[in-house]
Amino acid sequence: MTIEVKTIKEETHRAVSELFHKTGVRPGEILVVGCSTSEVLGERIGSAGSAEVAESILGSLAEECAAAGVYVAIQCCEHLNRALVVEEETALRYHLEPVMVVPVPKAGGALAAQAMKVFKNPVVVENIQAHAGLDIGSTLIGMHLKVVAVPVRLEQKILDKHC
């Protein structure tokens, strides 16, 4: 199976851009992202995690969030109780409680493991009340959104499942 990295990057950019446009997320707010790289590859969640797919998605997320001044929180998988990887600045600003875990691809998820590698000062926190969320592959991010959340239907419904 060939991974179309360029397509995944472009589709992620489109999805995040549309989400920001439709929700009106403002600088200083938080976007929580849950992602199954296995699902992006068309496989069953948790079965075929991909560092290459995670790198593509996180690169696009980081670019869009930086341009909008939005903080990003990457949700780990259920093996780490869906804890979140954030920049230390985010944890300090929002008074988030750090936990002592380190996500790896098979226990935390490929995207969370990638965030630990590329964030400047990554910390893992137990929970968050994000202003917006993006769920890639049915990873169940609802617990990390503000209490009242309005679902937004995006035109970009999937990331390259036809790789």
CATH, residue 104: 3.40.50.10360
Contact between 135 and 102 under an 8 Å Cβ cutoff? The reply is no
Domain membership of residue 154 (yes or no) is: no
The token pair at 55 is 């790198």
CA angle 136, 141, 144 (to 5 degrees): 145
Domain membership of residue 160 (yes or no) is: no
pLDDT at 81: 83
Q: What is the mean pLDDT of residues 6-28?
A: 93
Domain membership of residue 38 (yes or no) is: yes
As a whole number of Å, the CA-based R_g of the chain is 14
pLDDT digits (tens, 9 = 90+) for 18-71: 999 999 999 999 999 999 888 888 887 777 888 999 999 999 999 999 999 999
pLDDT at 106: 85
Residue 158 has pLDDT above 90, yes or no: no
Handedness of CA 65, 69, 75, 80 (dihedral sign): positive
Q: The domain containing residue 128 runs over which residues?
A: 5-144
Domain membership of residue 133 (yes or no) is: yes
Domain membership of residue 163 (yes or no) is: no
- The whole model's pTM is what? 0.89
Residue 162 has pLDDT above 80, yes or no: no
Residue 147 has pLDDT above 80, yes or no: no
Domain membership of residue 89 (yes or no) is: yes
Q: What is the mean pLDDT of residues 76-95?
A: 93
**CA atoms of 26 and 75, how far apart (whole Å):** 21
Domain membership of residue 149 (yes or no) is: no
Q: What is the mean pLDDT of the chain?
A: 88
**DSSP 8-state class, residue 161:** T
% of residues, the chain, pLDDT over 90: 61
Residue 159 has pLDDT above 70, yes or no: no
Number of structural domains found in the chain: 1
Domain membership of residue 24 (yes or no) is: yes
